[in-house]
Structure 1
Amino acid sequence: MQDSLQDYLNYLSVERGLAKNTLESYGRDLRQFLSYLKEKKNLDLQATTQATVIGYLLLLQARGKATATLSRNLAAIKSYYHFLAREGMIERDPTINLDAPKQEKRLPRVLSVQDVEHLLEQPDLKNPVGVRDRAMLEVLYATGLRVSELVSLKINDLNLEMSYIRCFGKGSKERIVPLGSVATKYVKIYLEHARKFLASSPYEDTLFLNHHGKGLTRQGFWKIIKKYAENLDIAIEITPHTLRHSFATHLLENGADLRSVQEMLGHADISTTQVYTHLTKDRIKEVYEKAHPRAK
């Protein structure tokens, strides 16, 4: 089973070009499923039935796993068995008629423009780390990048003359995103006055560096933004994704069209982007109810 799993992960990496994080997630979920088959059920891949898969999902549910986790596991298992059937490693696909559980759509939490400004002003620009942090926060809010995309940026991905960046999203898909004048300004300051104090090698091409002179990790950036968020009197929890949500919502509130926001966010399906239209509609209703004399 482990050999077939490695073949499958190689297929996802080479032929479908899935990102490293996605591969790790699929691998982790499928190893746990294969362990369940072998240790709990004493089954192999050929003997797995639809009931076996459902039983595994029910076990995850009983352990308190969220609906999103169940859906992710089922997606990984279905894709794996589809690959096995296509390659002739199994005679039938036991997941062929299984549908993912419906997920309740939760609206993302966003910051007001004023709260974003307060957050961006937190880093101390008197030291290189503070300059780096300000540049990172400005880039994140200016572009709506995912954190994994932010920490993966290379110096050559910047075009500061034209104020845009190139990034690689899910499935290693390339996209070009405008950077904006303010973010461009702080990135220039970081490159000219701060990055040299963090770099441990002149050959390191990652844009944003940690105190060891290497590229920051997602976890490292998460700690940075949490540190600054603690200084603010804001009711909602601020995570790196909060700035991505705020980026999209503020664009739509100010007249950007949905298709352009989809392109900038790197969403494959516009339905993923449409969640932000609910937020802007709620905002319009809130403004109306506060301002119109006959709203209530």
Structure 2
Amino acid sequence: MSEYTFKSVFADDIQEFISLKRALGFKYVSEQGMLQRIDTYFADNNVTFREITREISDGWCRKRSHETLTNQSNRISVMRIFARYLNDIGVAAYVPLSGTSRKKHHYNAHIYTDDELKRFFAAVDESKSVPSECPYRGQVMPVFFRILYTSGMRVSELRLAKISDINLDDKYIIVKGGKNQKDRIVPIHHSLAEKCRELKCSIHKYSSDDEYFFMQYPGRPMTLVCVYKNFRRYLSKAGIPHTGRGPRIHDFRHTFCVNLLLKWSKEGKDLMAYLPYMRTMLGHEGFEETAYYLKLTADAYPFIRESLQRSFPSIIEEVTFDDRDYY
């Protein structure tokens, strides 16, 4: 039986708690591993006084994007039992409320196949402009959706991009005020940079640098409703069934990430070294958000699961996604 070394201010309390549980007849094996993670959490968060405040407790209980609800519930349960033990021995500890982890609506991401992508973009290329409603649709949509897929950008990051945000010489887009309120630079393929140059010459002859690059009308960006209605139209023309819950526009971002990880894996790249690049490009705050795509890649391509498992064993087993903030 593996034994653990505890290092936080609660080290002795945890060890005595485990000894008590075993004296009562409990094996307390997996729980011991969870208590080591709690102990590490205390140490990493500089808890130097024998007290568990609500803030510290809530930080531990908060759902992580790379874990299942079951895993979150197990973490909270062990913290709750330990906190009650501390209260019993006279140490102040906030006890997490029951029901802290609740089942959320979960969407299984749709990873577009190569054939689906081919059919979808063929449908997009047939777009026709309607002067009274969508005067630039035929020119804008083929470029817009291709950049959306090949860059992994969120829909509104791209639809709200202005002329000044797109550097066609160095082939990148500056995302300003994205999720987490952080700016970032996203590279675009040289062929799409050329398409953007053609689009700019076509519809922005007299536009200022402050104009929306993918405008619906001068001075007005494409709305989410406009993008979504056209997306559904293209899905239908491409013969890709919509279930009522998906596929969604945001699945282009999922597909981009999965295909990029697949490419790196096939090339034998060290994913630990390359994931920070993906995290920065996607505008993720931390590793946990990016970890979701490891799970998607392993599920979509079982033959690379083993290589991913070696680098990310716990993540590959636990990952789920709190599917929010798509656009």
Q: TM-score range by the shorter chain?
A: 0.5 to 0.7
Contact 1:109/1:242, CA 8 A, preserved across alignment:
yes
Q: Percent sequence identity over matched residues?
A: 26
The answer for the alignment partner of 1:217 in structure 2 is 223
Letter in 2 for 1:250: N
Matched-pair contact (CA < 8 Å) for 1:158–1:165: yes
Query: Size of the alignment, in residue pairs?
Result: 192
Q: Indicate the SS of the match to 1:224.
A: helix
Structure 2: how far apart are the matches of 1:279 and 1:245? 8
1:75-224 matches, within 5 Å, as 97=96, 99-101=100-102, 103=104, 106-121=107-122, 122-124=124-126, 128-168=136-176, 169-195=178-204, 205-211=211-217, 214-224=220-230
TM-superposition CA deviations, 1:188-239 (whole Å, max 9, x none): 221112445xx8x657611111146521112221112111111112245332
Q: How far apart in 1 are the matches of 2:127 and 2:225? A: 22
Deviation at 1:268, TM superposition (A): 0.8
Q: Distance in 2 between matches of 1:186 and 1:287?
A: 35
Distance 2:254 2:104 in 1: 19
TM-score (norm 1): 0.57
C-alpha RMSD of matched pairs (Å)? 3.0
**Corresponding letter in the other structure for 1:270:** F
CA 1:212–1:154: 2 relative to 1, 3 Å: closer
Q: Which moved more, 1:231-240 or 1:155-164?
A: 231-240
Q: Find 2:247's aligned residue among 238, 241, 246.
A: 238
Question: Are 2:152 and 2:253, in contact at CA under 8 Å, matched by a contact in 1?
Answer: yes
Measure the CA separation in 2 of the matches of 1:276 and 1:180.
22
d(CA) in 1 for partners of 2:277 and 2:158? 20
Alignment match, 2:6: none
* Residue-by-residue CA offset, 1:145-189 (whole Å, 9 max, x unaligned): 111111110101111111111003113210111111232122122
Other-structure match for 2:33: none
Q: Contact conserved, 1:252 with 1:280, CA < 8 A, in 2?
A: yes
TM-score, reference length from structure 2: 0.52
CA distance in 1, matches of 2:232, 2:294: 27
Bigger share in helix: 1
Mapping 1:229-268, distance limit 5 Å: 229-235=235-241, 237-255=246-264, 257-268=274-285
User: What's 1:294 paired with?
Assistant: none
- On the 8 A contact 1:226/1:238 being kept in 2, the answer is no
Q: Deviations over 1:109-168 (max 9, x none)?
A: 110233223222323377542111011111101211111111110101111111111003
Gaps of 5+ in 1: 1-67, 69-94, 289-296
Whether the 8 Å CA contact 2:164–2:209 is kept in 1: the answer is: no
CA distance in 2, matches of 1:103, 1:286: 30
Tell me the residue number matched to 1:271: 288
User: Higher mean Cα deviation, 148-157 or 182-191?
Assistant: 182-191
SS of the residue corresponding to residue 141 of structure 1 reads helix
Structure 2, unaligned stretches of length 5 or more?
1-68, 70-93, 130-135, 266-273, 306-327
Query: d(CA) in 1 for partners of 2:240 and 2:210?
Result: 37
- Write the deviation string for residues 3-52 of structure 1: whole angstroms up to 9, x where unpaired: xxxxxxxxxxxxxxxxxxxxxxxxxxxxxxxxxxxxxxxxxxxxxxxxxx
User: 2:285, 2:233 → 1: CA distance?
Assistant: 32
Query: How big is each residue's C-alpha offset from its partner over 1:230-273, in whole Å with a ceiling of 9 and x where there is no partner?
Result: 11122453322011111111111110732222111111122112
In the alignment, the residues of structure 2 paired with residue 274 and residue 105 of structure 1 have an alpha-carbon distance, to the nearest angstrom, of 17
Read off the aligned partner of 1:153 and give its amino acid letter. A
Output the CA distance in 2 between the equivalents of 1:195 and 1:120: 24
Q: Give the structure with higher Rg (CA).
A: 2
User: Which moved further from structure 2: 221-230 or 95-104?
Assistant: 95-104
**1:102 CA drift (Å):** 5.0
Change (3 A) 1:271 1:106: farther
Please give the alpha-carbon distance, in whole angstroms, between the structure 1 residues aligned to 2:283 and 2:208. Answer: 31
